Homo-oligomer: A and B are copies of this chain.
Amino acid sequence: MMPPMTGKPSDTAITAWARLLKAQAKALDAVEADLKANGHPPLAWYDVLLELKREENGTLRPLELEKRLLLKQHNVSRLIDRMEQKNLLKRLPFAGDGRGQLVSITDQGQELLRRMWPTYRASLQDHVGSKLKEPEMAKLAALLQHLL
């Protein structure tokens, strides 16, 4: 493969990078704190449940969760362990590939999703939604898309 053969990042890019790190850290810390203060589990649990809920049959393979949530394989494995212990999801065998499995959201998982949303929603509004007007928010979303 060819080496990236890039130039140097501009001062603007460095500033954008620094702010990306800080803005995310600040908002995420605040959201996690709000969730915890209301007796809820970490945001990652919500993310997993939401991905599952959105699927036709409420199931996904761990590998797919890993890609969508940008988690490492071993962390997905253990996150599933913990969530399974709380009966929020369950592991099913995956017909068609004996190595794989299917993770399926349970009723309790769906209920947790519903219970968390009001807190999460309010927190998002406080720490993100209220910070920019609609057109600027759309612009931000568009620019961030280019980093993905």
**Interface positions of A (Cβ within 8 A of B):** 4, 6-10, 12-17, 19-29, 70, 121-122, 124-132, 134, 136-141, 143-148
Contact = CB atoms under 8 A, between A and B. Distances in A.
Given A17-B128, A19-B147, 16 more contacts: A6-B122, A6-B125, A6-B129, A6-B130, A8-B129, A9-B121, A12-B137, A14-B124, A16-B144, A19-B145, A21-B24, A127-B147, A132-B147, A139-B139, A139-B143, A140-B143
A10 B134 contact: yes
A139 to B, nearest CB: 6
Interface residues of A, dominant DSSP: helix
Number of copies: 2
B131 A10 contact: no
